[in-house]
Amino acid sequence: MKTTIAEVGKYVGKEVIIGAWLANKRSSGKIAFLQLRDGTGFIQGVVVKAEVAEDMFKLAKSITQETSIYVTGIVREDERSPFGYELGVTNIQVIAESVDYPITPKEHGTEFLMDHRHLWLRSKRQHAVMKIRNEIIRATYEFFNKEGFVKVDPPILTGSAPEGTSELFHTKYFDEDAYLSQSGQLYMEAAAMALGKVFSFGPTFRAEKSKTRRHLIEFWMIEPEMAFYEFEDNLKVQEDYVSYIVQNVLKNCSLELNTLGRDTSKLEKITAPYPRITYDEALEFLHKKGFSDITWGDDFGAPHETAIAEAYEKPVFITHYPTSLKPFYMQPDPNREDVVLCADLIAPEGYGEIIGGSERIHDTALLKQRLDEHKLDPEAYKWYVELRQYGSVPHSGFGLGLERTVAWISGVEHVRETIPFPRLLNRLYP
């Protein structure tokens, strides 16, 4: 029976055929242990000299790393392996040989691995991270569909800039100027006025000269937007959503979390509600912690975010930032004009901001004034203002950065391992 590693549990005691690659092997005079992978998982194949033909055992011992094979064997339960099964190999048929595979079981430097990203993806660790990324995406669609949201796809080529103009990738759109989307938000606001509760999931681009463990040039964002939702309603969606993806990864990716050595007791605590502190309270906290250089109106950097996050076991919302720090579209606090009704969600364990969100300005005159203050071209934002001219309603939304979220949940240090082909400062290959 031809099957996959993920499915072998259905065939205990039976003979199966699996198309696989040899990930690693170790052998003695009498026995060879083959670490096999087929994309769906990893399994150990055991070849016993006394049980197979002589040339079969010779082949098992000489087969090279990443050679592709059809392997035939009997599925056995194996309590010692986290996977729970192994294969008693009876036959191997080589499909294509692999010669001098560059990524050997020894340690390699990061730059070397990044240059071989197209092959590095095959490793057990990278496989685990990609499976967790996939589970987060799956749970995202499940959550928002369950909650009555409609998926809407905003354009990638745009003529306007939601997050400020300094980080835009410029391109020509025939004779016009265009930019790669840095956020679908403005379009999602239009969609929310048509469909009520909407979410998007797509690539976004930031020409940021940042070289940190949290920054990618191209990253994927999930952007929900909800008509008639005010500031507090928005936070509730966020904490329910983030908890939902964490709990689903715990439930459906235990093998992968184990492969990564993730401390799952930390993830088990991630349930709604999450703590909230205002920017002012956060500033006071930082001063007490000895960050004396930072004053009201300054943005928080990674060390500040990490210090705040360390005070909590759950993600923490930092709310009501100074208006001057945030984009033009955020609704000012009606009780205090110098702060906006926004929140950043800071992940635990030093992973930084995973969500930025806010209530949006729904007053036409105020929006026009803010566009003017930010020196944005009124022609490019004409359509966005019109959303307020025809039955404006309070509305809110947020953007969750997928890669930072994958990094946090997987427990991997750097976002470069959380996307198949990372686009980083100075890296467009492979």
Comparison of 191 and 216: residue with beta carbon closer to ligand 4AD: 216
- As a whole number of angstroms, the distance between CA 350 and CA 412 comes to 11
**Mask of contacts with Mg ion, 340-369, x by CB under 5 A?**
----------------x-------------
Comparison of 356 and 411: residue with beta carbon closer to Mg ion: 356
Comparison of 102 and 164: residue with beta carbon closer to Mg ion: 164
CB contact set of 425 (below 8 Å; sequence gap of 6+) = 209, 210, 211, 215, 217
Q: H-helix or E-strand containing 384?
A: helix 382-389
Min. distance of Cβ 36 from ligand 4AD in angstroms? Answer: 35
- As a whole number of angstroms, the distance between CA 21 and CA 41 comes to 11
Q: Which does 73 bind (CB under 5 to 8 A by kind): Mg ion, ligand 4AD, none?
A: none
**CA-wise closest residue to 277 among 359, 352, 346:** 346
Q: What is the largest CA-CA distance in the chain?
A: 85
In single-letter form, the type of residue at position 100 comes to D
Count helices and strands in the chain by DSSP H and E runs:
13, 19
DSSP one-letter code for 196: S
Min. distance of Cβ 344 from Mg ion in angstroms? Answer: 6
Comparison of 120 and 317: residue with beta carbon closer to ligand 4AD: 317
For residues 159 and 176, the answer to whether their CB atoms sit within 8 Å is: yes
- Chain length of the chain: 430
In single-letter form, the type of residue at position 392 comes to S
Min. distance of Cβ 167 from Mg ion in angstroms? Answer: 12
- As a whole number of angstroms, the distance between CA 92 and CA 72 comes to 6
Q: Which does 206 bind (CB under 5 to 8 A by kind): ligand 4AD, Mg ion, none?
A: ligand 4AD
What is the SS3 assignment for 130?
A: helix
Min. distance of Cβ 272 from Mg ion in angstroms? Answer: 21
Q: Which does 183 bind (CB under 5 to 8 A by kind): Mg ion, ligand 4AD, none?
A: ligand 4AD
Comparison of 332 and 397: residue with beta carbon closer to ligand 4AD: 397
Min. distance of Cβ 73 from Mg ion in angstroms? Answer: 51
399 binds Mg ion (CB under 5 A): no
Min. distance of Cβ 163 from ligand 4AD in angstroms? Answer: 5
β pairing state of 42-48 and 157-158: unpaired
For residues 36 and 42, the answer to whether their CB atoms sit within 8 Å is: yes
Min. distance of Cβ 107 from ligand 4AD in angstroms? Answer: 27
**Interface residue list for ligand 4AD (CB under 6 A):** 162-163, 183, 185, 206, 208, 215-216, 219, 221, 223, 353-357, 397-399, 401, 403-404, 415
**CA-wise closest residue to 103 among 118, 93, 86:** 118
Comparison of 315 and 356: residue with beta carbon closer to Mg ion: 356
Return the residue nearest Mg ion (CB atom): 356
Min. distance of Cβ 163 from Mg ion in angstroms? Answer: 8
Binding positions for Mg ion, 100-119, rule CB under 5 A:
none
- As a whole number of angstroms, the distance between CA 292 and CA 282 comes to 13
Comparison of 311 and 425: residue with beta carbon closer to ligand 4AD: 425
Comparison of 128 and 407: residue with beta carbon closer to ligand 4AD: 407
Residues near Mg ion (CB under 5 A) are 356
